[in-house]
Structure 1
Amino acid sequence: MRTINGPTDTIVVVGAGLAGLSAALHLIGAGKRVTIIEREAAVGGRVGVYPVTGDDGKTLYEIDNGASVLTMPDLIESALAAVGESFDSVSPKISLCALSPSYHTRYADGSSIDVFSDPEAMAEEVARKCGSAEAEGYRALRRWLASIFDAEFDRFIDSNFDSPLDLVSTPSALRDTLAITRLGGFGRLGPRVEKFLKDERLRRVFTFQALYAGMAPAKALAVYGAIAHMDTSLGVYFPEGGMATVAAGMADAVTRNGGTVVTGAEVTNIDVREGRATSVRTSDGTVYPCDALILTPDLPVVDALLDGAAVSARGRGRGYGTVSPSAVVFHGTVPTRVTDMWPASSHHTIDFGAEWSSTFARITARRGKGTLMADPSLLVTRPSVTDRALLVERGGEQCEPVSVLAPCPNLRSAPLDWTRLQDPYVRELQQELERRGYRGMSTMTVDHVDTPQTWADRGMLLGSPFSSAHVFRQTGPFRRHNVVRGLKNVVLAGSATTPGVGVPTVLVSGKLAAERIR
């Protein structure tokens, strides 16, 4: 594995999202002096918050601004343990609740299926809703998903790559690659799942995760069954106080152990001498010297910094390849007297439209061909179902925060005018949810909306919070390398580089970046 040569005592990390915080903790644990520089006023990146103020100017409540699904929390524990900390030792404490069910799924025919991580509970649910034969199919599918995950995690997810040849460069690497091949990991996810399950509703449960990888299930590599395994077998969790407490706790561990976190400071320049980054400069002119540098922002921001440092774009993949779909997400509150009568009462509800394959075709279409979903499938998240402390007093009555995510094309697939489209599209989605039984959604108080344009304004690739898609040519050793060509001491972390998109994988990316430096 290629590592950074020369001095590496002082490290600057740009970005205080999960990737940057993970990298910092692993480096501090290795005895490095680390400074994290974050553009926003608070840490977290895509697990930060949007504050909502009341008429008196005081914060009424805070909205989790990004990821709402937390799996594999042991990766957070591992990062904290690198500096001798734990969930209980940091402030705020990270107190996790295992969601049961992990998801509630609803279908256009009026049926529903709860998704449990416990195999017996899930088998009983499948037998009750889909029949005993499907329950046996579920058990077999679960075993296959676990095998895929076990075969690929160490080799394809938790590993640095210098070349595609790393897949076969040692006997153990070759053995792991052959094991995945035998399991059908390099085939297609949709057809593989169909071998186990005949009920189309169940097939959706175990393939919708392909969206995170930027692919329709019929086209996604079967190795991405590992994401379905994380979602449906390893458990989904929610931290007391909201997802942002994870980043806040990790940042506390950084500062308690000698690291520095600077917020509200945007890095605008990288100073380079003799092929090494020697310091970074922020917009206010402050200079932060470094022996090594980790960049965690999205690729447009990273590449703008590298361009400014006169680093050649050769080998960077500046065309950006295939980019994942985007999403419209709106957040607000609804009175509990209304939500108490909703048809679903789970923390996460996936409300599927009747269309499925055509939906993916619409939002993953090539340049200029993408369209919005005609029959949307939506993720409805209600965090106060799990944490009642998140309820909000508003207008003299008790309300609960609700977030709705609607997948949509990125700005290359569909260059829509979101400044004009945002409000009418949100109203359309509210009305659709109202038709599906979510009473009061059409009069929901909407406090914040993210669209492909707002994601793009924050520097995200083509307005997608899911970055580069995980097509074969952008997977594993073929993804944007975390070592920057042209600079001897600069490493990338985050969703755009290895291993990819998702809370677990960006945590791993931070660790992998730290390994390049340690």
Structure 2
Amino acid sequence: MTRTVPGRTDHVVVVGAGLSGLAATLHLLGAGRRVTVVEREALPGGRAGRLDMAGYLVDTGPTVLTMPDLADEAFAAVGARLYDHVELIPLHPAYRARFADGSALDVHTDPDAMEAEVHRFAGAADALGYRRLRAWLERLYRVQMRRFIDANFDSPLGLLSGDLARLAALGGFGRLDPRVGRYLRDERLRRVFSFQSLYVGVPPARALAAYAVIAYMDTVAGVYFPRGGMHALPRAMADTAAGAGAELRYGQRVTRLERSGERITAVVTDQERIACDAVVLTTDLPVAYGLLGRTPRRPARLRHSPSAVVLHAGTDRTWDQLAHHTISFGAAWSRTFDELTRTGSLMSDPSLLITRPTTTDPSLAPAGRHLHYILAPCPNTELGPDTRAWEDLGPRYRAELLRELHRRGLDGIEAAIEQECLVTPATWRSLGHTAGTPFSVSHTFTQTGPFRPRNLVRGTENAVLAGCGTTPGVGVPTVLLSGKLAAARITGGHRRPTVSRRPPPAPTAENSPAPTEESAA
């Protein structure tokens, strides 16, 4: 049995209406708790917010949705269904990868379609290798999910199980890049199945092979897009929570927590005092620790993931070579990761994620217009340029990125921009994200699983943490799980879904939406 919050827990205050806070809220409501959610912004979503740029509707946070069943599980806690509230569109392809040598690969989650694409791209040997890699990814996911991802830990001893031996037998404690290389000879293909480790702040050459589970989510389980944008998910979660009895109070900033001994007795905002029996904190770790007046001791200082520069661009044209998600790889690879995680310099030959949500939902931009989200990983402010340096560096780096995109075939992109918003590490820092990164604490071995900052803080018995800084980690699926795990610390266990689940069909060429004029390639 894992530890749970002792004593009365009838009324829980959740601080933050992001994905983790809303997931915790739904699971708490389903277990019979009264819940009040306090959010500093005027709308739900947290990192998954919404920006209106003169009719261009921008998702300010994640753009990739995988494992929607985890969100559905939160809805199920209150007898609802995700698919009744959000229309999920399977993406086909999940990604398009474009390489410096001019080649391109569409990444399909349907195994037959992907095998045929790999055969066209790299030949018969790698097509066979893809099938073997896919089977390994599926086994890896099955072993990890129940015991290591969807699990609360009280100590490293919680790792000791038969699943640990099975994970070791699968090579999960080796390194990611060499493991993928066992199945795929083509260096370009290996990138497609290993770049995901950057999501958790570790280069593929140093990441545990266990983190190939993210490639499973991206390349096997499927990638989806909610109609109305990613923000449609937290908006639907908030509406469902309100309908199930939660009180959501927007535009309130938490200033302090009142306590009696080791128990939090009230959450105080800049507008009111809210008495409570327990609290879930979804803020960045330093903010949460500051409110609690407790910072756990660790043998080494926490290391943070790289950050990102994001250019949201509303344009009067688009480019046929783009899919919904396009990864534009530079020629450099290992040097890129050294720059991001060791030397602290900007990528000299950048690999970029370009998302064009209007491929799938044209209503996100004015008629005849297009929305592009250009993400360039960069060092965080602990390792690279600090927040002050980004004041001058930001506009110059924007210009460099647009010149590079022009060279890579998005000709005239700068002249096509009608509305834009540039986000840099200084922006992330101003939003309260430590080290100027929205990706929080990296997933090195000593910051993973039972070694990651726990969701219970010693010295406070009725406060629980949730969000990407605590267990299980960074990313939409894991953040949703963090809310579920936080609720379980209060309620004493997981609540099983009580209504039948009807997930969307897996992404295939047959059930994907017909391409719009601007998405045809």
With the shorter chain as reference, the TM-score category is over 0.9
Superposed displacement of residue 450, structure 1: 1.2
Name the structure, 1 or 2, with higher relative contact order (CA <8 Å, separation 6+).
Answer: 2
- For residue 355 of structure 2, what is the aligned residue in structure 1? 381
State how 1:78-93 maps to structure 2 within 5 Å: 78-89=73-84, 93=85
2 CA distance for matches of 1:361 and 1:127?
32
1 CA distance for matches of 2:39 and 2:299?
24
2 CA distance for matches of 1:517 and 1:476?
20
Superposed displacement of residue 265, structure 1: 0.6
SS at match of 1:364: helix
State how 1:25-64 maps to structure 2 within 5 Å: 25-53=26-54, 60-64=55-59
In structure 1, what residue type is equivalent to 2:61?
G
Superposed displacement of residue 319, structure 1: 6.2
Instruction: Output the aligned Cα RMSD.
Output: 1.2
Superposed CA offset, 1:82-103 (max 9, x none): 00111354xxx30000001000
Superposed displacement of residue 196, structure 1: 0.7
- For residue 16 of structure 1, what is the aligned residue in structure 2? 17
- For residue 215 of structure 1, what is the aligned residue in structure 2? 202
- For residue 376 of structure 2, what is the aligned residue in structure 1? 406
- For residue 480 of structure 2, what is the aligned residue in structure 1? 507
SS at match of 2:24: helix
1 CA distance for matches of 2:194 and 2:140?
14
SS at match of 1:242: coil
1 CA distance for matches of 2:56 and 2:287?
30
TM-score where L is the length of structure 2: 0.92
Superposed CA offset, 1:467-504 (max 9, x none): 11101000000000000111010000000000000000
Superposed displacement of residue 440, structure 1: 2.5
Match of 2:304 among 282, 298, 323: 323
Q: Does 1:418 align with 2:379?
A: no
Cα separation, partners in 2 of 1:114 and 1:383, compared to 1, 3 Å: same
Cα separation, partners in 2 of 1:440 and 1:334, compared to 1, 3 Å: farther
2 CA distance for matches of 1:401 and 1:85?
32
Q: Does 1:485 align with 2:485?
A: no
Q: Does the aligned pair in 1 maintain the 2:39–2:251 contact within 8 Å?
A: yes
Match of 1:177 among 164, 173, 178: 164
2 CA distance for matches of 1:423 and 1:517?
46
Superposed CA offset, 1:178-233 (max 9, x none): 00000110110001001111101100000000001100000000110100000000
How many residues get paired? 487
SS at match of 1:233: helix
- Which consecutive unaligned segments of at least 5 residues does structure 2 have? 492-521
In structure 2, what residue type is equivalent to 1:72?
M
Match of 2:288 among 293, 302, 305: 302
Match of 2:68 among 66, 70, 73: 73
TM-score where L is the length of structure 1: 0.92
Cα separation, partners in 2 of 1:318 and 1:175, compared to 1, 3 Å: closer
Superposed displacement of residue 391, structure 1: 2.8
Q: Does 1:335 align with 2:316?
A: yes
In structure 2, what residue type is equivalent to 1:134?
D
Deviating 4+ runs (over 6 angstroms): none
Superposed displacement of residue 62, structure 1: 2.0
Q: Does the aligned pair in 1 maintain the 2:36–2:247 contact within 8 Å?
A: yes
State how 1:166-315 maps to structure 2 within 5 Å: 166-168=158-160, 174-284=161-271, 286-307=272-293, 311=294, 313-315=295-297
1 CA distance for matches of 2:406 and 2:364?
23
Superposed displacement of residue 420, structure 1: 1.0
Superposed displacement of residue 300, structure 1: 2.4
In structure 1, what residue type is equivalent to 2:24?
A
SS at match of 2:239: helix
- Which consecutive unaligned segments of at least 5 residues does structure 1 have? 54-59, 169-173
Q: Does the aligned pair in 2 maintain the 1:332–1:402 contact within 8 Å?
A: yes
**Percent of aligned pairs with the same amino acid:** 51
Superposed displacement of residue 303, structure 1: 2.2
Q: Does 1:141 align with 2:133?
A: yes
- For residue 497 of structure 2, what is the aligned residue in structure 1? none
Q: Does the aligned pair in 2 maintain the 1:320–1:468 contact within 8 Å?
A: no
- For residue 467 of structure 2, what is the aligned residue in structure 1? 494
Q: Does the aligned pair in 2 maintain the 1:271–1:280 contact within 8 Å?
A: yes
Deviates more, 1:43-52 or 1:354-363: 43-52
